[in-house]
């Protein structure tokens, strides 16, 4: 029988950062699995500090500009999207849970897929009791039977107790509520939430690095993350409440100029300037008067703060991850990694090979979106692909009661929904309907309790 033509799978991701808001739309051939970027839009973020929304109206305006850019340039009507956020107040913790495989007096039996699912559900219940934050990610790191050696898949092993270790990432409810509300006021419906640490890793690391082991470091404007990836999954995450804005603020304060001018000066210099260029003058108009600073003036402010961020705050965590065996590389992304001389600075201070992580498969992106600051945006879609391929590893709260997605017994019942849901149509831009917000957060927060 001749099959009808299958429609392409459309995915969209909205990346809300302190300095930039961007939106990506991709199209995947269902037969070849070949993915193409069909739209990218970005706008200067306003109303955000350290990943947290301070002025919702300004954020809504920024999201609309990013969406409008993508829709106008590529003749789309974007409806639904997945959201990447990176507040510095996120919590990351590990939890072990023991699940009995047999009752007292009964013989040992082999582990089944249902046992694995039940063990993870038990870990989730305990994690919910530990705090009030929304559990955005639950990632099983390994299983062991009767305290034996940890394995990724314990099915078939005989024993009495199955132990699972799970990595959790939780976000403050109010911060998630604000981000979703802003996106919906901008005309989008949010299908799921991804933390930027995970999106950045999947957006900047190659397939070999994800398997062999790598550390993905995203230094944004307001928040920085360090993510350890090995054996095809996230192994650990660390979050630092600071980034490039600290450098900008130092320049603004010490030179007594507006932050916009400080940002300009910061971008005009290299971290390793030729000594002959140190006295070159950087000039701009300030309140009708010329303002002049030398390259040396700016470098003396920028370089110490960059060293502090890298080596006092991020480096200890990078080195801790680096003690694990088989780490292939350290990959830096985010706007700060684009600074001239940055690669030379980090290369001189790490034994593990270092590179700047532009978006994976960046040649499919328009030229303006190929920089390392777009790694987390591309990573949203790559994350969805990974989650679809490995639903037993990348787990999330279930929103089936909101989306109408059918429960999948193989997905451990705690996935958000099928990430292949259509999010855009190729039609002239019209009025975008607002997605329903009522009940979203309550359902997200109580999803696990309702399941169990």
Which of residues 394 and 438 earns the better pLDDT score? 394
Does residue 179 sit in the same domain as residue 301?
no
Tokens describing residue 83? 């959201």
Listed in order, strand segments (DSSP E) in 29-175 are 35-44, 48-49, 52-53, 77-78, 80-85, 91-100, 109-110, 134-145, 158-159, 161-171
In a domain, 206, yes or no: no
Which of residues 13 and 390 earns the better pLDDT score? 13
CATH number of the domain at 253, please: 3.30.420.40
Closest CA to 448 of 404, 401, 410: 401
In a domain, 440, yes or no: yes
Q: What is the pLDDT of residue 405?
A: 43
Partners of 225 in the beta sheet?
Answer: 218, 239
Residues 401-421: what's their mean pLDDT?
38
What is the rounded average pLDDT for all residues in the chain?
85
Does residue 348 sit in the same domain as residue 371?
no
Ramachandran angles phi, psi of 378, nearest 5°: -65, -35
Select from 300, 335, 356 the last residue of a domain.
356
End-to-end CA, the chain? 43
For 33-53, how does the pLDDT look when each residue is reduced to its tens digit (9 = 90+)? Answer: 778 888 999 999 999 988 889
Q: What is the pLDDT of residue 423?
A: 55
All residues at 6 or more sequence positions from 306 whose CB lies less than 8 Å from its CB, including other chains: 247, 271, 336, 339, 342, 345
CATH number of the domain at 451, please: 3.30.420
In a domain, 28, yes or no: yes
Give 298-325 as a DSSP string: HHHHHHHHHHIIIIIIIHHHHHHHHTST
Does residue 131 sit in the same domain as residue 224?
no
pLDDT above 50 (res 413): no
In a domain, 71, yes or no: yes
Does residue 155 sit in the same domain as residue 182?
no
Does residue 220 sit in the same domain as residue 312?
yes
pLDDT above 80 (res 401): no
Does residue 318 sit in the same domain as residue 424?
no
Partners of 226 in the beta sheet?
Answer: 217, 238
In a domain, 177, yes or no: yes
For 192-211, how does the pLDDT look when each residue is reduced to its tens digit (9 = 90+)? Answer: 899 999 999 999 999 999 99
Q: What is the pLDDT of residue 4?
A: 55
Helix (H) or strand (E) holding 23: strand 20-28
**Domain span at residue 140?**
91-171
In a domain, 46, yes or no: yes
Does residue 139 sit in the same domain as residue 75?
no
In a domain, 202, yes or no: no
Q: Tell me how many domains the chain contains.
A: 3
Q: Which residue has the tokens 């132990």?
A: 163
pLDDT above 90 (res 7): no
In a domain, 446, yes or no: yes
All residues at 6 or more sequence positions from 400 whose CB lies less than 8 Å from its CB, including other chains: 406, 407, 417
pLDDT above 70 coverage of the chain, percent: 86
Ramachandran angles phi, psi of 391, nearest 5°: -65, -20
Does residue 136 sit in the same domain as residue 256?
no
Tokens describing residue 421? 């849901």
64: left (phi over 0), alpha (psi -120 to 50) or beta: alpha
**Cβ atoms of 284 and 261 closer than 8 Å:** yes
Residue 147 three-state SS: coil
């Amino acid at each position: 029988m001749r099959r009808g033509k299958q429609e392409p799978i459309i995915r969209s991701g909205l990346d809300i950062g302190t300095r930039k808001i961007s939106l990506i739309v991709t199209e995947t051939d269902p037969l070849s699995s070949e993915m193409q970027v069909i739209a990218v839009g970005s706008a200067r973020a306003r109303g955000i500090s350290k990943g947290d929304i301070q002025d919702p109206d300004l954020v809504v305006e920024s999201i609309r500009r990013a969406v409008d850019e993508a829709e106008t340039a590529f003749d789309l009507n974007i409806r639904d999207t997945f959201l990447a956020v990176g507040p510095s107040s996120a919590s990351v913790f590990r939890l072990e849970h023991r699940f009995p495989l047999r009752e007292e007096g009964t013989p040992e039996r082999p582990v089944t897929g249902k046992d694995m699912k039940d063990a993870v559900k038990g870990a989730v219940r305990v994690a919910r009791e530990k705090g009030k934050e929304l559990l955005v990610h639950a990632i099983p790191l390994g299983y062991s039977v009767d305290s034996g050696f940890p394995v990724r898949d314990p099915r078939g092993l005989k024993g009495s107790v199955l132990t699972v270790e799970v990595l959790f990432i939780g976000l403050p409810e109010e911060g998630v509520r604000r981000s979703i509300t802003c996106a919906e006021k901008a005309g989008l419906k949010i299908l799921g939430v991804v933390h930027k640490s995970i999106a950045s890793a999947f957006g900047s690391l190659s397939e070999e690095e994800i398997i062999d082991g790598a550390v993905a470091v995203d230094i944004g404007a307001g928040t920085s993350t360090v993510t350890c990836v090995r054996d095809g999954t996230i192994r650990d995450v660390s979050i630092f409440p600071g980034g490039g804005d600290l450098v900008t603020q130092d320049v603004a304060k010490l030179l007594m100029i507006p932050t916009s001018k400080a940002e300009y000066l910061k971008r005009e210099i290299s971290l390793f300037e030729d000594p002959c260029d140190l006295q070159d003058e950087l000039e701009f108009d300030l309140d009708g008067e010329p303002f002049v600073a030398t390259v040396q003036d700016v470098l003396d402010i920028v370089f110490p703060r960059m060293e502090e961020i890298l080596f006092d705050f991020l480096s200890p965590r990078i080195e801790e991850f680096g003690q694990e065996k088989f780490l292939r590389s350290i990959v830096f992304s985010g706007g700060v990694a684009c600074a001239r001389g940055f690669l030379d600075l980090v290369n001189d201070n790490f034994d593990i090979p270092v590179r700047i992580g532009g978006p994976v498969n960046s040649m499919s992106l328009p030229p303006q979106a190929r920089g390392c600051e777009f790694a987390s945006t591309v990573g949203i879609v790559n994350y969805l692909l990974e989650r679809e391929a490995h639903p037993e590893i990348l787990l999330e709260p279930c929103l089936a009661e909101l989306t109408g997605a059918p429960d999948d017994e193989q997905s451990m019942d705690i996935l958000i929904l099928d990430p292949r849901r259509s999010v855009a149509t190729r039609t002239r831009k019209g009025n975008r309907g607002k997605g329903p917000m009522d009940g979203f957060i309550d359902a997200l927060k109580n999803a696990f309790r309702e399941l169990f």
